[in-house]
Amino acid sequence: MVKPDEKLVFGWREWVGLPELGLDSIKAKVDTGARTSALHAFELDTFTENGVDRVNFKIHPVQKDVEKVVSCVADIIDERLVTDSGGHREQRLIIATLLTIGRWSWPIEMTLTSRDNMMFRMLLGRTAIKGVAMVDPARSYTTGKKPRAT
């Protein structure tokens, strides 16, 4: 885990990575109105392995592209009732994963939900950036351009 010594300044959207889920880059909307981060997910399948609750799921990591699919697996750390911006309540699985932005990385929690009809496949909520970054809504991609695939 590499957290910055001083607070970073993020724009309202940033390229992020979720390496533990096999995602080098995904465009995220930085949303200080959302407490918890959210990741687009579908075909969720929960199971228990060696006494640990886990979930298999798929995501469409690219906006407006339902052809590209990435399969993921993660430990379930919780299940919570979440209210979205439209006031709808939904029971969601919570996973923990490593977030990378620029050269920094740290663990975050995120919910899994369908975001097919949303512009961004990921929301980066205020809990994930608390104590790490401030948001300048006039800026975008302050931590750099889309990372190249390795």
Write down the pLDDT at residue 150: 43
Structure tokens at 115: 């975001």
Q: What's the pLDDT tens digit per position in 105-136?
A: 999 999 999 876 778 889 999 999 998 999 99
Indicate the average pLDDT of the chain: 89
Domain ranges (residues) in the chain: 8-135
Place of tokens 């990385």: 105
Domain 8-135 top-level CATH class: mainly beta
- Residue 21 has phi, psi (to 5 degrees) of -100, 5
Q: What's the pLDDT tens digit per position in 12-71?
A: 999 999 999 999 999 999 999 889 999 999 999 999 999 999 999 999 888 888 889 999
Write down the pLDDT at residue 148: 54
Structure tokens at 38: 């959210």
Write down the pLDDT at residue 128: 95
Q: Which sign does the torsion angle of CA 53, 73, 88, 28 carry?
A: positive
Strands 89-101 and 70-83 come out as antiparallel
Q: Is the per-residue pLDDT at 1 higher than 70?
A: no
Structure tokens at 55: 């979930």
Write down the pLDDT at residue 129: 94
- Residue 129 has phi, psi (to 5 degrees) of -110, 0
Write down the pLDDT at residue 62: 84
